[in-house]
Amino acid sequence: MNNRVLLGMSGGVDSSVSAILLKKQGYEVIGCTMILCENTKKENVNQAIIDAKKVCEKLNIEHHIFDLKEEFKTYVVNPFIKEYEKAKTPNPCVECNKFIKFGLLYKKAKELNCDYIATGHYAKIEYSEKYKQKVLKKAKEEKKDQSYFLYGITKEKLEHIIFPLQDYTEKTEIREIAKQNGLEIAEKKDSQEICFIQDNNYTKFLKEQKQFKIKKGNIVLKTGEVLGKHEGIYKYTIGQRKGLGISYSEPLYVTKIDLQNNQVIVGKEEELYSNILYAKNLNWQIDVEKKQELKCFAKIRYRAKESEATIFFIGNTVKVEFEKEQRAITPGQSVVFYDAEGVLLGGGEIEKNT
């Protein structure tokens, strides 16, 4: 393989410092900025391009701009809308990584004669003697680990991915490297929002979609007792307590969203707990024996802690049974599996819980 690497650059400090680190490691770095969102404020997109170009000029590396708005709409935005129509809570970052950052970007790398792609994600790629292949592992610092969002990367691509920040644990270190190399973006704030939704207001975004149908209905207890009305089930997610607009003798939480009957079902907090879920749309980065039970550690959301679990294979789906009950297992979100050493085994989309 050659030493040419295509680096995704958002104009932020993480991807900019990644360029510095890659150059120091002897790679021939090609920078690129992807234009993804029609809904993103134009000034933000323009600034991202300007900042990335400045860094590339400073480091004397090529910079390309890829307009992937249509592809992003197809693979990320439209599925996001459809999942909410199905009363699920989707995870667009997982889809973006799978189809765009480690899908289309990989194709662009090949077109530019690059054997590697790189991003500013906090995760680790290394060779595993146990599995006899390159594996994706959790980052050193648990709080910064982003491996949860990367389970959709296919096994074959792990050989061609570099995470330059994989051994760093503090953002202050990254910003210091940027300062030492004279980068203007050293103190630039990190983006915390879903990139295609302004002000992180997903309900407003969905209401503005012409194809999105909103239907009012009832908020009920599991007994069927009606407690109030909802303005559309898309506004609710499992575990939600605030903004229900109902009164009761004790706190109530959304425990289920019933699409067929257009109902939001609420209950006591203990009703949120379950130790079984079913998952589909699976991707395995490690070869697993699907005829047997698989012991692992699993997490049901980004900020959740992993919990001991057993995977049971049912055709193209899995049943996951946790040792300890999990709170607010949410259809549409991802369940991700790790071994005891933090190697990412695979993951999938949560279909339902029990």
Q: Which residues are catalytic?
A: 96, 195
* C-beta neighbour count of 314 within 10 angstroms: 12
Q: How long is the chain?
A: 354
**Interacting residues of 109 by C-beta distance below 8 A, sequence separation 6+:** 5, 6, 115, 116, 117, 160
The dihedrals phi and psi of 21, each to the nearest 5 degrees, come to -65, -40
Question: For residues 257 and 333, is the Cβ–Cβ distance under 8 A?
Answer: no
DSSP 92-127: HHHHHIIIIIIIIHHHHHHHTT-SEEE---S-EEEE
Cα distances (Å, whole numbers) of residue 53 to 13, 219, 279: 13, 51, 42
- Best CA proximity match to 274, nearest among 215, 202, 328, 210: 328
Phi, psi of 292 (to 5 degrees): -115, 165
DSSP for 276-328, written as a single string: EEEEEEEEESS---TTS-EEEEEESSTTSPPEEEEEEEETTEEEEEEEEEEE-
The helix (run of H) or strand (run of E) holding residue 185 is none
Are 15 and 120 in contact by the 8 Å Cβ rule? The answer is yes
Alpha-carbon distance 215 to 89, whole Å? 17
Give the pairing type, strands 133-137 and 161-162: unpaired
